[in-house]
């Protein structure tokens, strides 16, 4: 009888310890994140103003948000612009990229200030790969047509801009985006990457079910290859604008998760590098 009582006590003690750990993890996930810096990188055919909805949502939650105005002239130039923004952060940051901006954050994300990556309908090549290689084996929907000028810079064809880029926007908004689009040097897509930050940084991905800039299979394959936590929402390629709340939620989730993981790791490590559990 005494042996059975001891065994029961051991089981109850173990259950209590497990419950305590789960409650602690829940508290960490719901507590304010320690990472409060967010850096947003736009993609091709757009500029930083498209992030306004995401910016308003995140700053309303208490985040410090920086929007990169990358020039779209070369991978090196866009990475340099992103690193300038990262240099201005006062601590760790979540780095976010839309579309071509995904390639940029993949290269720039090895910066020590980057704690996590969020890919918004975004590309994510590996080190040694070009962005163009991401498209191999997939067919871009016919609605998305790029016209390349004589100087090598590309625009989305005006007649199909709304259908291919921003089908879920109002006509007036789509027209403004079409007429203010920023061209991209098409040579960027054949530039090999030197780094792939997603190999060492936790990643999240969010994209729309009606994205016409990419094959849906391609979007899923890219996100799955990098091991991202995936969120799929109704929307076009322009979800950074049309689904700003959903995108902001994913960024907030990333910041909270990385913050919780950092706090948990710190709590189990004693001052000499030994574990408190030992």
pLDDT at res. 27: 42
d(CA 155, CA 150): 12
Of 6-15, 65-74, 212-221, 244-253, the range with the lowest mean pLDDT is: 6-15
- Would you say residue 5 lies in a domain? no
The total number of structural domains that make up the chain: 1
Task: Look at residue 170 and tell me whether its pLDDT is greater than 70.
Answer: yes
Give the per-residue pLDDT at 264. 78
Burial label for 160, CB within 10 Å (0-12, 13-18, 19+), is middle
Domain of residue 216, CATH code: 3.40.50.1820
Q: Which domain holds residue 71?
A: 34-264
Residue among 59, 105, 132 at smallest CA distance from 203: 105
In a domain, 160, yes or no: yes
| pTM across the whole model | 0.86
* Local confidence band at 271 (pLDDT 50, 70, 90 cut-offs): low
Within a domain: 197: yes
Q: What is the pLDDT of residue 32?
A: 80
Question: Would you say residue 126 lies in a domain?
Answer: yes
Tell me how far apart the alpha carbons of residues 89 and 255 are, in angstroms, rounded to a whole number.
Answer: 15
Residue 272 in any domain: the answer is no
Q: How many angstroms separate the CA atoms of 124 and 225, rounded?
A: 9
d(C-alpha 17, C-alpha 30), whole Å: 20
Higher pLDDT: 272 or 149? It is: 149
CA atoms within a 13 Å half-sphere pointing along the CA-CB vector of 101? 33
Whether residue 11 is contained in a domain is answered as no
The answer to whether position 40 is within a domain reads yes
Strands in 51-142 per DSSP E: 64-68, 93-98, 114-120
In whole angstroms, give the CA distance from residue 81 to residue 260. 29
Residue 12 pLDDT greater than 70, yes or no: no
Q: Judge whether residue 127 has pLDDT over 60.
A: yes
97 in a structural domain: yes
């Amino acid at each position: 009888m005494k042996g059975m009582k001891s065994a029961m006590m051991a089981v109850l003690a173990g259950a209590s310890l497990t419950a305590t750990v789960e409650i602690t993890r829940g508290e960490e996930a719901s507590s304010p994140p320690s990472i409060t810096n967010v850096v947003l990188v736009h993609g091709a055919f757009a500029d930083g103003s498209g992030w306004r909805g995401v910016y308003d949502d995140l700053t309303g939650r208490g985040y410090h948000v920086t929007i990169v105005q990358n020039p779209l002239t070369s991978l090196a130039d866009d990475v340099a612009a992103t690193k300038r923004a990262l240099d201005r952060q006062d601590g760790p940051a979540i780095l976010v990229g839309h579309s071509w901006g995904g390639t940029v954050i993949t290269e720039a994300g090895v910066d020590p200030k980057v704690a996590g990556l969020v890919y918004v309908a975004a590309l994510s090549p590996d080190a040694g790969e070009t962005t163009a290689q991401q498209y191999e084996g997939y067919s871009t929907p016919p609605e998305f047509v790029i016209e390349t000028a004589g100087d090598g810079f590309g625009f989305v064809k005006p007649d199909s801009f709304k259908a291919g880029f921003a089908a879920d926007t109002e006509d007036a908004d789509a027209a403004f985006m079409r007429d203010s689009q920023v061209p991209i040097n098409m040579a960027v897509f054949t530039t090999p990457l030197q780094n792939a930050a997603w190999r060492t940084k936790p990643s999240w991905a969010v994209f729309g079910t009606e994205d016409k800039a990419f094959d849906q299979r391609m979007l899923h394959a890219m996100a799955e290859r990098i091991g991202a936590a995936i969120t799929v929402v109704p929307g076009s390629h322009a979800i950074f604008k049309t689904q700003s709340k959903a995108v902001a939620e994913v960024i907030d989730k990333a910041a909270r998760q990385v913050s919780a993981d950092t706090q948990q790791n710190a709590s189990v490590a004693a001052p000499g590098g030994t574990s408190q559990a030992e």
